[in-house]
Amino acid sequence: MADNHPTDWKTGLFDCFEDASTCCYGFWCAPCLACTVSGRFGENTCLPLCDIMLAPCGIPMVVPPAVLSLRAAIRHKYNIKGSLCKDICVSCYCTSCSWCQMHRELKLRNQAPTTIINVQTTNYNVQPNPVMMAPAPFAYMSQPGVFMAVR
């Protein structure tokens, strides 16, 4: 049975030191990071460019639709605690941190699970079963042309 209990984000909104490469990537090329997150999640990689066109100078006049929709979709897919109201606040006021958090989340969630297999070998001393040979029938001739077989 699947566990339906909501979980927390694997890293916090401001946990840049959990994966510094993500935050450095986001700092130097925020649009590139946003497009990477969108692509990793299976959406069009150009989707975040809508936010860039709607938010001149980094100050959003409206809720950025791409970051909000992807954040809500990631929360829904992985059953992460939160609300749409929190997603709106994070999307408006911590956009870069939100992209970094979503990138870290997807990296951690999409890692291949580690499977450990223990192999034990057992040596069996197997010998073939003895083969019982049936005795060959004994036959003799009592009269010319008549054979009698005895077992």
What is the number of other CB atoms lying within 10 angstroms of the CB of residue 8? 9
Tokens linked to 20:
């510094």
Q: Is residue 24 part of a domain?
A: yes
Q: Is residue 103 part of a domain?
A: yes
Band the pLDDT of 1: cuts 50, 70, 90: very low
Q: Is residue 143 part of a domain?
A: no
Q: Is residue 52 part of a domain?
A: yes
Q: Is residue 146 part of a domain?
A: no
Q: Where do runs of H (alpha helix) occur along 29-138? A: 30-40, 49-54, 65-77, 84-93, 95-109
Q: Is residue 42 part of a domain?
A: yes
In one-letter notation, the amino acid at residue 35 is: C
pLDDT in tens, 96-118: 888 889 989 998 888 655 556 66
Tokens linked to 141:
């001739």
Rounded average pLDDT over 116-139: 64
Q: Is residue 6 part of a domain?
A: no
Q: Is 150 helix (H, G, I), strand (E, B) or coil?
A: strand
Q: Give me the domain span that covers residue 52.
A: 16-109
* Number of domains forming the structure of the chain: 1
pLDDT in tens, 14-44: 887 777 776 666 666 778 888 888 888 888 8
CA–CA dist 128, 111 (Å, integer) = 49
How many H helices and E strands in the chain? 6, 2
The pTM (predicted TM-score) of the whole model is: 0.63
Q: Is residue 96 part of a domain?
A: yes
